[in-house]
């Protein structure tokens, strides 16, 4: 099916569109993740890192990084004929966190992308979504050369609730990222259903 048209003999399907945030620390791979899975050319708002930003941009562990997102990344993926996800990647540095509230408006759920070499960098994102009751999944970006950890060990290190999904992924690989997004949608659906059930009782 093509949006606005349908194959002969088949009824037109109006897709449900959902907003998903992609958050995490500086240099964790958010722009890469959105670009790997987006079926459209992703919108990027990257600028070159400068000497002026060196005192506030911690590049330890990501010394090869030369650009940074200053507003957001944007991409789109059709998971099913009737389900389209709009992906919004958040900026990672502290000084751009004021943008998060606007980006989070209307979001169904979020991905918190994690680099186990700099685990502390994702605490702010985890705390942000917990405080706002936005369902999220933790996706561990398995960088080349990084020590691999069990999902359960990462859950304990981040002090996550038992129902928060923790998924190992490669942010460069489309199919790997798709699995993460499917997990987020599934978790958000369960979270929403549980909320409705509690209201009904």
**184 in a structural domain:** yes
**5 in a structural domain:** no
CA 190, 78, 36: angle at the middle one, nearest 5? 100
pTM: 0.78
6 has pLDDT over 60: no
Tokens for 140, please give them.
């561990």
Among 8-12, 67-71, 186-190, name the one with the lowest average pLDDT: 67-71
Structural domain range at position 74: 16-200
Q: Which residue has the tokens 């080349």?
A: 144
Q: What is the pLDDT of residue 63?
A: 53
Cα(110)–Cα(52) distance, integer angstroms:
31
69 has pLDDT over 80: no
pLDDT band for position 27 (cuts 50, 70, 90): confident
Q: What is the CATH number of the domain that holds 42?
A: 3.40.50.300
**189 in a structural domain:** yes
Domain count, the chain: 1
């Amino acid at each position: 099916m093509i949006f606005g048209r349908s194959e002969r003999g088949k009824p037109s399907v109006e897709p449900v569109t959902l907003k998903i945030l992609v958050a995490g620390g500086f240099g964790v791979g958010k722009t890469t993740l959105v670009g790997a899975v987006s079926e459209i050319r992703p919108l990027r708002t990257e600028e070159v890192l400068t000497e002026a930003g060196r005192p506030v941009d911690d590049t330890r562990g990501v010394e090869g990084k030369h650009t940074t997102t200053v507003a957001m990344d944007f991409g789109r993926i059709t998971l099913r004929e009737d389900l389209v996800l709009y992906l919004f990647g958040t900026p990672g540095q502290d000084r751009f966190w004021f943008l998060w509230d606007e980006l989070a408006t209307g979001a169904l759920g979020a991905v918190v992308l994690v680099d186990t070499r700099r685990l502390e960098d994702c605490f702010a994102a985890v705390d942000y979504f917990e405080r706002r009751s936005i369902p999220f999944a933790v996706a561990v970006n398995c960088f080349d050369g990084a020590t691999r950890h069990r999902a359960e060990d990462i859950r304990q290190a981040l002090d996550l609730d038992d129902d928060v999904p923790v998924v190992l992924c490669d942010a460069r690989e489309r199919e790997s990222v798709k699995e993460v997004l499917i997990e987020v949608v599934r978790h958000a659906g369960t979270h929403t259903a549980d909320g409705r059930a509690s209201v009904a009782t």
